[in-house]
Structures are given as structure tokens and as C-alpha cells.
Structure 1
Amino acid sequence: MSRRSDHTREELAELIVGEGHLLLSEVGYARFSAREVAKRIGYSVGTLYNVFGSYDGLMLAVNGRTLDMWRAALVARLEGAPAGASRLEQAIAVYFDFAAHHRHAWAALYDFRLPEDAALPASYAEKLAGVTGILIDEVTAALPPARKAAGPELARSIFALVHGHCFFALNGTFDLLGETDPLAAAIARTREAIAAAGGGAGR
């Protein structure tokens, strides 16, 4: 039976995202179902779409929750980093830790795609920038003044490098290749990229 009068729209949105994120974390993107989310909270699937507009809108909201969690983990690690530690390397370590502990939700950030003709909502783009902006800031900080304009471009390449190492670590590919410490390898390659751009160890 529907409970659609039990919550305000804001409360309902939070309920849906919370339960949706739990489901996604349990079963992964391929088995994620709006109908199952609706069943778990006692509302119709139509209610979910009324709140978020569509399945895509629901997925953006659920993935947005993952981005919020990821950014919070980054901020906490960087604020608590030991004196003298490389903040960029701390951020890379967070990537590996977060992916390992939130594997399905992390993977869904990349598995879900909007239609090619659909624009990314500003609210979601802001959450995404909240994560990538930290990496851009740390890469840029590691570059000399004359090279700081290259920070965003280099940060995108380093992001891809770290993601590849992390993905191979999680899916077992590095085991087959004989790599025993993917995180250390990702950090080493990052140091090489920063050095090749004329930078140092960073903040």
C-alpha cells in the first residue's frame, strides 16, 4: 500500500536516495532497479519518477550521494594528513580506499551514462567538480609557477592513470600481471608525470 502522504517531498527524496544507494551498494549497477527501491520504501515506482523525473534523474541523485561521500573522505584525509605528507599522494590513496570499500557504488559512477543528447545537470556537475577540483588543486600546487596553467589538463591524465591502476587492482588484472602493490605503482607513475612537467612532490 502506498504511503505517499507520509513524507514531504524533501523527506521522500532523501528516503529514496538513501535506500537507492543502499541497494546499489548491495547489488551493483547492472542489477539496480527503481522498482526494487520503490518496493523497499513502500511507494510506487511512479512516485520515484515524480520526484526525480526519470530513471536517469534517480541514478544521478544516487550517484551524487556517492560523490558526496567520496569528497567527504578526501577532505577528511587531507585535513588529517601528517605534516610533510604529499596531499596529492594522500588523495590517490583515498581513491583506492574508497573504491575498495564502496565498490559497487564507485563503479556505478562510470557504468551509468546519460543519453548523448542529454546535458549533465548543473547540480551533478557541481558535485563532480567537488571531487575532481581537489585533484586539480593538488596537481597544480605541485607545478612551478610557469606550468600551473597546465594543471587541469595534467590532473585529468593523472586521474585516468590512477583510475586504471585502481580498476586493474580491483578486477584482478594486476594479479595476473604480477603487480603486487598497485597503489605504490600509481603513486610512482604520478610522481614521474609531475616531474616530467617540471613539478615537485606537491603540498
Structure 2
Amino acid sequence: MGRRSDHTRQELEHLFLVEGHKHMAEVGFARFSAREVAKRIGYSIGTLYNVFGTLDQLLIAINTRTFQLWAEEVRAALEKSGPDRIRCLVEAYFGFARANRHSWTAIYDHHLPPDVVLSDEQNQRRGGLTQIIVDEVVAVLPSRVQADAPRLARSLIAVVHGHCVYDLNGSFALMGIEQPMELALERVRESLNHAGASMDGLK
């Protein structure tokens, strides 16, 4: 029998979220089971839905947690980075995706129904990662074009993301490309150079 009153609602939300994230990391989006998450912490599936409302809201919360952990890893990498912080960003992007394949892929496998939108809080939490990248792009651009940094940063994220997807799904291997991360970095540097950044001396 599931426990009924061992934890407050806030504690339950945390328990379900942590265990749900762990389960997602183990089995991936296609095999994810909310019922299994509830079972693991000794509560009924009804309790889980009382806390989150719907499966979509649980998945949103899990994927937001992935974004937050991802941002933490990128910040930690930048703290130890040498002068080439753009390389550090690209390596951290690939590194997180490779080390957390199921959780990372679930972000993009979960498609929201038309009537479901992210809350402002969820958008803010997810946006932390993008803001790190925007800040680093601003730092390498001349002042005259820094206002374009948010737009450019999002384009560069798309470039790196595409390379990362092809890396993880084996497409690059089929093409005979052995260093997809370096290829992504080349494209990023080309775009930054075109925008006026100085990448001189960075290999």
C-alpha cells in the first residue's frame, strides 16, 4: 500500500522529481513510466498525479531539472577553463549530452500538446543555460555588435546541437567523421569570426 502522509506536498514533489529524473536517465523517454516512479518511492500513481496534475507536467519538471544540471556542469567547466572559453562551451555541450544521453534526448523527445505551455518559472530555469552562452558570446564580440549576441548565441546553439545529435545517433560515424565536436567548434568559430570576434591564436 502506498504511503499517504509521510511527506508534505513540497517534499513529495521533490521526491517524485528526483526519482523521475533518475528513472529517465536509466531507461529513456520511450520507456519512461510514471507508475514506476511512484512505485519506487512507495506512493500510488494517484498521489503523483495529485502533485503534478498530468504526465506532461511531470515530464516538463524532469526536463527542466536536466537543463539546470546541464547549466551547473557548464558553469563548473568554465570556472576551470583556460583562455579558450568558446571551446570549453562546445566541449561541455557535447560532454553533457554524451554522459547523460537519455536525459538529454528526453528534452527534445517530449513534445508538448498544443494546450500546454511552460510556466514563466520553468522558462526562467531553462533559460539559465542559454544565458551562460549569450554571456560568453558577448565577451568575444566587439562592442558595436554585442547587441546581436542573443540572436547569434541561439544560432550557435542550434549548430552545436545538430552536430551533437548526429554524433549521438551515429550519423557522423556512418559518414566517416571521427571528430564531430571539433567540426562543431570550427563552425562556431567561423560564425563568430564573421560577426567580428577575434579567435586568433585559439586552436
* TM-score, with length taken from structure 1: 0.94
Supply the distance in 1 between the matched residues of 2:52 and 2:117 (Cα, whole angstroms): 15
Runs of 4+ in 1 over 4 A off after TM superposition: none
1:180-191 pair list within 5 angstroms: 180-191=178-189
- The residue aligned with 1:101 is 99
* Gap runs ≥5 in structure 2: none
Within the alignment, does 1:20 sit opposite 2:20 as a pair?
Answer: yes
Match 1:200 to one of 195, 198, 202: 198
1:88 Cα deviation (Å)? 2.1
1:6-85 pair list within 5 angstroms: 6-82=6-82, 85=83
- The residue aligned with 2:125 is 127
Q: In the alignment, residue 95 of structure 1 is paired with which amino acid?
A: Y
3-state SS of 2:113 partner? coil
3-state SS of 1:24 partner? helix
3-state SS of 2:30 partner? helix
1:48-72 Cα shifts (integer Å, max 9, x gaps): 1111121111111111211111011
- The residue aligned with 1:116 is 114
Q: In the alignment, residue 110 of structure 2 is paired with which amino acid?
A: F
* TM-score, with length taken from structure 2: 0.94
1:41 Cα deviation (Å)? 1.4
3-state SS of 1:29 partner? coil
- The residue aligned with 1:151 is 149
1:44 Cα deviation (Å)? 1.2
Supply the distance in 2 between the matched residues of 1:161 and 1:173 (Cα, whole angstroms): 15
Match 2:137 to one of 139, 146, 155: 139
Aligned residues: 201
Supply the distance in 2 between the matched residues of 1:30 and 1:162 (Cα, whole angstroms): 24
3-state SS of 1:146 partner? helix
Q: In the alignment, residue 155 of structure 1 is paired with which amino acid?
A: A
Supply the distance in 2 between the matched residues of 1:11 and 1:128 (Cα, whole angstroms): 22
Supply the distance in 2 between the matched residues of 1:90 and 1:65 (Cα, whole angstroms): 22
Supply the distance in 2 between the matched residues of 1:52 and 1:18 (Cα, whole angstroms): 13
Report the RMSD for the aligned CA atoms in angstroms: 1.5
Q: In the alignment, residue 148 of structure 1 is paired with which amino acid?
A: Q
- Percent identity for Structure 1 against Structure 2: 50
